[in-house]
């Protein structure tokens, strides 16, 4: 149960509409916690940064469950949110993707969306003013959301693995096989079957867009994968993740779960520690 009991007009709260997708907890882990099967404020925003994070959470929540005090005015420029050089979180998470995060980045002169947010006129205008959208890269079948609408608006090509593409008729480019390769300039696709049969990651510059196959756990301060949300095969997913020891990346940007930017050696250390832990389980 969420936390909207009694008169809540005078403080930030999460309404009973919350269905516990966890999106706001992974975007603002210092502000939100899980409580009674839903997201809840750990405390009221106590700084300008926390207030900004709270407002971002209003737009992230796919069911508008994050509520500000009555009378407060939302600031502008909340999304896209810069997370690392050349990487922005789009916000406007969709219920159809269970609240998955999506991103936009640049590579080789191309403008790339990774997975889909819900449709937003604000995001549409931001993309248009930035020069449009060349490609939409879908990590798997579950985090598509309104990608098709953005693709139609901007004439973008849409990429997805063949093993997940059957329910997405607007896909224009099919990824095949299970070998990592460069599919576009400075864009490396890494098939990682497991979470779904057609899951992939996209390594763009030094940022790894990991879909729902790998994330950062802020509570444990470690890389993490969701065994209880593996829809194809867990041993296959672990074998897929082992391939990442041969890749170099400094950031993990996840659909579900947390995102983190470190340095490449530290990330490899964290990856090997994660693999050792899950193998021992």
The secondary structure of 144-178 as a DSSP string is -TTHHHHHHHHT-EEEEETTTGGG-TT--EEE-SS
54-70 per-position pLDDT tens digit: 999 999 999 999 999 99
- The residues of the chain that CATH labels 3.30.70.20 are 13-67
CA angle 206, 210, 212 (to 5 degrees): 165
Confidence of residue 273 (pLDDT cuts 50, 70, 90): very high
pTM, full prediction = 0.95
Domain 13-67 is in which class?
A: alpha beta
The closest alpha carbon to 214, from 186, 194, 188, belongs to 194
Q: What is the mean pLDDT of residues 143-158?
A: 98
160-219 per-position pLDDT tens digit: 999 999 999 999 999 999 999 999 999 999 999 999 999 999 999 999 999 999 999 999
- Structure confidence at residue 1 (pLDDT): 41
Q: What separation in angstroms does the CA of 252 have from each of 170, 184, 224, 260?
A: 27, 20, 11, 5
Report residue 243: phi and psi, to 5°.
-65, -25
* In the chain, % of residues over pLDDT 70: 97
Task: Collect all residues with Cβ–Cβ distance below 8 Å to 126 and sequence separation of at least 6.
Answer: 79, 80
**pLDDT of 4 over the 50 cut:** no
User: What is the number of other CB atoms lying within 10 angstroms of the CB of residue 258?
Assistant: 21
Q: Are 60 and 91 in contact (CB under 8 A)?
A: yes
109-141 per-position pLDDT tens digit: 999 999 999 999 999 999 999 999 999 999 999
- The residues of the chain that CATH labels 3.60.15.10 are 81-280
- CATH fold for the domain made of 81-280: Metallo-beta-lactamase; Chain A (3.60.15)
* In the chain, % of residues over pLDDT 90: 95
């Amino acid at each position: 149960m969420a936390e909207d009991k009694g008169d809540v007009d005078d403080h930030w709260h999460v309404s009973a509409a919350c269905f516990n997708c966890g999106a706001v907890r992974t975007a603002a882990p210092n502000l939100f916690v899980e409580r009674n099967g839903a997201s809840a404020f750990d405390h009221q925003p106590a700084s300008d940064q926390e207030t900004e994070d709270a407002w971002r959470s209003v737009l992230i929540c796919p069911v508008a469950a994050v509520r500000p005090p009555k009378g407060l005015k939302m600031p502008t420029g909340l999304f896209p949110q810069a997370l690392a050089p050349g990487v922005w979180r789009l916000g406007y998470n969709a219920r159809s993707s269970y609240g998955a995060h999506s991103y936009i980045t640049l590579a080789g002169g191309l403008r790339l969306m990774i997975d889909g947010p819900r449709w937003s006129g604000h995001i549409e205008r931001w993309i248009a003013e930035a020069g449009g959208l060349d490609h939409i890269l879908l990590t798997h079948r579950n985090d598509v959301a309104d990608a098709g609408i953005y693709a139609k608006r901007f004439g973008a090509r849409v990429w997805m693995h063949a093993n997940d593409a059957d329910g997405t008729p607007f896909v224009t480019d099919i990824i095949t096989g299970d070998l990592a390769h460069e599919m576009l300039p400075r864009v490396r696709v890494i098939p990682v079957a497991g979470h779904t049969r057609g899951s992939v990651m996209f390594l763009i510059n030094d940022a790894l867009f990991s879909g729902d196959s790998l994330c950062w756990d802020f509570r444990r301060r470690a890389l993490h994968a969701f065994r209880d949300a593996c829809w194809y095969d867990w041993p296959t997913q672990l074998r897929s993740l082992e391939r990442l020891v041969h890749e170099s990346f400094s950031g993990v940007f996840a659909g579900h779960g947390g995102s983190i930017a470190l340095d490449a050696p530290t990330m490899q250390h964290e990856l090997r520690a994660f693999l050792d832990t899950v193998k021992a389980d």
